[in-house]
Structure 1
Amino acid sequence: MQVLIARMNHETNTFSPVPTPLAAFGKNGPTYGAAAYAENKGGRTAMSAFIDLSEAAGAILVTPVSAFANPSGRVAADAYQRICDGIVEAAAGCDALLLDLHGAMACENTDDGEGDLLERLRQRYPNVPIAASLDLHGNVTQKMVDNADVIISFKTYPHVDMYEAGEHAGRLLFDWLLRGAPKPRLAWQRLLLVTHTLRSTSESGAMREAIQAARRFEANGVPGVSVLAGFALADIPYPCISVVAVGSGEAGYRQAQQVVKQLAEQIWAAREGFVYQAEPLSQSLARALELAQNVDKPILLLDHGDNCMSGGTCDTMDVLMAALEAGLTGIMAGLICDPAAVAQMAQAGVGASLMLAIGNQCAIPSIGRAANPIRLRGIVRAVTHGEYVITGPTYTGQTASMGKSAVFDIGAAKLVITSKPHEPWDLGTFTSLGLNPAEARFILLKSRMYCRPVFSPLCAALIECDSPGVTSADFSLFTYQNRRDPLYPFEAVGEGWERG
């Protein structure tokens, strides 16, 4: 048996000014062939699980590409074409296709990157089984459902079950291909509901209840049930939440149809639980200052309006400047992406006192924001290559690179400034530069969720800080031109879904 295994991951924020050329995938472009295999073998991606399953089955592996890029603007057309062409051509002669996809990829030449790829594969290889693993934030389309045999998404956010989702999807396909199970069929329902990312966590609220229901259906015999929150920061027709269920054979398909109907009804009844209501930034910072008076641990502040894992520029300074004006001190803040500032600090050297223009370097036309760097005086405390090994729970063991990085001490705050946009996956984002975040009074991170399993245990409290960035929870900042109307919560919606 010959099995194609490939990875193509990008969550597209169509409002982001950050470009996505081919070089944005990986350290300097995707990996191919043996390098794609090596990048994922022994890791925690869905592609890692596909490799393990296929090797256990004695298959010959074909690994044409592994392409992952941080969320950003639309993927360049030539980059998308090259990745997809490599997958389609390599699939010739294969008996199964296992694809580690995201589900919310939009490109310069298509709103439905994954659906178009799956359609090409199905047209070229009509009888070859296809399984896809998707991110929990995938914007599922009819093309995806029509052209895949199995779809399974992550069930956690922060995403700590990428491997498990891949193992689940691959196992269901191999049950059919190798072990005589009935052919899988997909049932799905897309709701007319746009969710806030901060309300898609699997750890609380309406999303947690929906995922728990999906797990109960699986425990009672449905092969696979996925709840995909969708990704709202995409100006496409349906950036919506959806439910996908895998049925086994015709009877299983009818059961799967009932499952998606029940789950859709549950989600729609709880729709207000998927809408995030932010408090004013001044109130958030006042609460933080009050909490800090009575605890001996840091207060964790999350600048979620500029999160690179949703397409942020990673350089807005609103929350930091408001915190300084509110009188917060003892701050460790990061990660601020400003390669020019890092270069100046590296040239000046550790110990140098500088006046630097930092942050606000990237204009954000989609929300009418011009570049307006902030001038700060401080001392260079460290300059490093910016690499560290992630200890988990996400991408455990993977070497991460922030690019050349530096610490700039402005007195009330120590700023970690990087050359690349980077999510604070790990304490290594600070410790690799000689900082111990446990010693801070306030830890200010540009993050939504991924930092929480690592940084929350260090802190006495967590406060979400709203700011006008490209990943803001304030949908009124964004001008949608292509989305379907009506969609809740933008407009009142009678029934929660369209009839197929």
Structure 2
Amino acid sequence: MKILIARLNHETNTFSPVPTPLEAFSPAFGEAALRANKGMRTAMAAFIDLAEGMGATLVTPVSATANPSGPVHAKAYDELTRRIVEAAPGCDAILLDLHGAMVAEHTDDGEGDLLARVRAAAPGVPIGVALDLHGNITEQMVQSADVMVGFKTYPHIDMYETGEHAGRLLLQMLRGEAHFRVCWHRLPLMSHTLRSTTLEGPMRDAVEAARGLERSGLPAVSVFGGFSLADIEAPCVSVVATCRAEDAAATQDAVDGLARQIWQRRTEYVYRSDPLEDSLRRAQDMAQGATRPVLLLDHGDNCMSGGTCDTMDVLQAALERGLTGIAMGPLCDPEAVARLIAAGEGAEVDVDLGNKVPLDRIGLHKKPLRLHGTVRAVSDGSYTVTGPIYTGQRCHMGHTVLFDTGSAQIVVSEQTHEPWDLGVFHCVGLDPTRFRFLLLKSRMYCRPVFTPLSEGLVECDSPGVTTSDYARFPFKRVRRPVYPLDPA
């Protein structure tokens, strides 16, 4: 028995200026791809465990994942997908750990095109796919897969469990115990990422309804929030179910019913941002008498949605309001890092920080913020995640500097980086729990670690390529009408 197992993940923000060449994926091939996932909490790791458990021969052509950014370079997409497609012939089953929202320079449907090519290369071979909750599902994806399962958590903590679910169903097909197909319903609804959390609200209820359908006997039901920061035909919410072929009609009815429930609550999937000044005023009020820091979440520049991680709007507004006791990090500015390292620890310098990556696709051009301060520490920007997301993973921000302006201590890094963990501060000797405010460029992934240590959080919507203000994005290719761009 020979099973193809591969991982290719990218969430594409078509408005992002951050490039996505091959090296952005840090790809691993062959045995290195297996080693990169073995024992980890990825869907591919679950595939590996299942295949090894049945004594199968594993074919692992590639494991490649890149932070969300602009469209994948054509050469990178072609190289990574070629390795998967060429490995398919001769395999008895295919398990793919994909994202579901990949756009390349020459295709708007990165996963759909890949799956169609894999299907053509290995006709009749069962294909199972694990996807991110923010996948933009297409007809081509659905038609090319026998099993499709998506994450049920955001923040995402069930990647391994999703892979185990998809793999377990595909192995049932391989053993001749079932024949599956995929049913789906896509809604004309572009949800906001901040309204796709499964911790509360409409997405939590929709996912619980999907679990209820699974408890009633359906093999797999997934609700996909979509990733709306992509100017493609339908960056929209979908309901997808894997069912036995003989149950397709009844399953489609159930999928349609859940989609109707979601549509009835469509206004709850839209995030209404407060003006930045109002958010900061609320944070100041929250900090009065507090013994723990207040989180300022700059979700308009979130690198895990394609942000540049270098906009300065929230920090500048906070300083202008007189906020003090701020710890911020990480801010990506390799030019400033080089300047500060050259000055050396203990040096007092004036430096232009941030706002250096042009935001041409949304028509914004900003100037760096000139600040005076002291270089407090220099490090290699490495730390180990303590969990619960990517527990045990070693992270690297590149050369990293702690810059102290008096009112704010700023962690400045060479690379864009999500604040997964306290390690983004600890790596430069800073204890973030001792500050009044923590300014993090994050939407959701910081919350499992930082929220329990805080007085509370305030969401700050700044003008960047991950803002929740759809009016800033020149959508041209999205199929209309679609809510909330158009009236329901």
TM-score range, shorter chain: over 0.9
Is 1:76 aligned to 2:73, yes or no? yes
How far off is 1:202 after superposition? Answer: 0.4
Is contact 1:316-1:360 (8 Å) kept?
Answer: yes
CA distance in 2, matches of 1:45, 1:5: 12
Superposition pairs of residues 100-115 of structure 1, within 5 angstroms: 100-115=97-112
Partner of 1:306: 301
SS in structure 2 opposite 1:5? strand
Is 1:35 aligned to 2:35, yes or no? no
How far off is 1:294 after superposition? Answer: 2.2
Partner of 2:150: 153
Superposition pairs of residues 401-412 of structure 1, within 5 angstroms: 401-412=396-407
Is 1:25 aligned to 2:25, yes or no? yes
Is 1:95 aligned to 2:79, yes or no? no
Partner of 1:477: 472
Match of 1:163 among 160, 163, 167: 160
Is 1:215 aligned to 2:211, yes or no? yes
314-323 or 341-350, larger mean C-alpha shift? 341-350
Is contact 1:402-1:419 (8 Å) kept?
Answer: yes
How far off is 1:374 after superposition? Answer: 1.1
CA distance in 2, matches of 1:130, 1:403: 38
How far off is 1:135 after superposition? Answer: 0.4
How far off is 1:254 after superposition? Answer: 2.3
Match of 1:284 among 279, 297, 300: 279
SS in structure 2 opposite 1:169? helix
Partner of 2:429: 434
Is contact 1:181-1:248 (8 Å) kept?
Answer: no
SS in structure 1 opposite 2:487? coil
Is contact 2:4-2:87 (8 Å) kept?
Answer: yes
Is contact 1:186-1:256 (8 Å) kept?
Answer: no
CA distance in 1, matches of 2:265, 2:469: 20
Is contact 1:71-1:310 (8 Å) kept?
Answer: yes
CA distance in 2, matches of 1:93, 1:182: 22
How far off is 1:387 after superposition? Answer: 0.9
| TM-score normalised over the length of structure 2 | 0.99
Is 1:356 aligned to 2:371, yes or no? no
Letter of the aligned partner of 2:43 in structure 1?
A
Partner of 1:63: 60
Partner of 1:140: 137
368-377 or 65-74, larger mean C-alpha shift? 368-377
Partner of 1:197: 193
Is contact 2:183-2:242 (8 Å) kept?
Answer: yes
How far off is 1:392 after superposition? Answer: 1.0
Identity %: 59
Partner of 2:220: 224
Match of 1:261 among 252, 256, 260: 256
| TM-score normalised over the length of structure 1 | 0.97
Is contact 1:247-1:254 (8 Å) kept?
Answer: no
CA distance in 1, matches of 2:195, 2:345: 42
Is contact 1:247-1:255 (8 Å) kept?
Answer: no
Deviations 1:357-414 (A, max 9, x none): 1100001011111141111111011111111111111111111111111100000000
SS in structure 2 opposite 1:265? helix
CA distance in 2, matches of 1:127, 1:93: 11
CA distance in 1, matches of 2:251, 2:344: 62
Letter of the aligned partner of 2:414 in structure 1?
S
CA distance in 1, matches of 2:50, 2:204: 29
Letter of the aligned partner of 2:190 in structure 1?
V
How far off is 1:473 after superposition? Answer: 0.1
CA distance in 2, matches of 1:316, 1:335: 11
Partner of 2:243: 247
Letter of the aligned partner of 1:45 in structure 2?
T
How far off is 1:249 after superposition? Answer: 2.8
Is contact 2:90-2:122 (8 Å) kept?
Answer: no
Deviations 1:203-240 (A, max 9, x none): 11111110000011111111000000000000001000
Partner of 1:416: 411
C-alpha RMSD of matched pairs (Å): 0.8
Aligned length: 488
Task: Give unpaired runs (5+ residues) of structure 1.
Answer: 494-500
Partner of 2:7: 7
Partner of 1:346: 341
Deviations 1:442-464 (A, max 9, x none): 00000000000000001011100
Is contact 1:317-1:360 (8 Å) kept?
Answer: yes
CA distance in 2, matches of 1:182, 1:166: 18
CA distance in 1, matches of 2:98, 2:379: 33
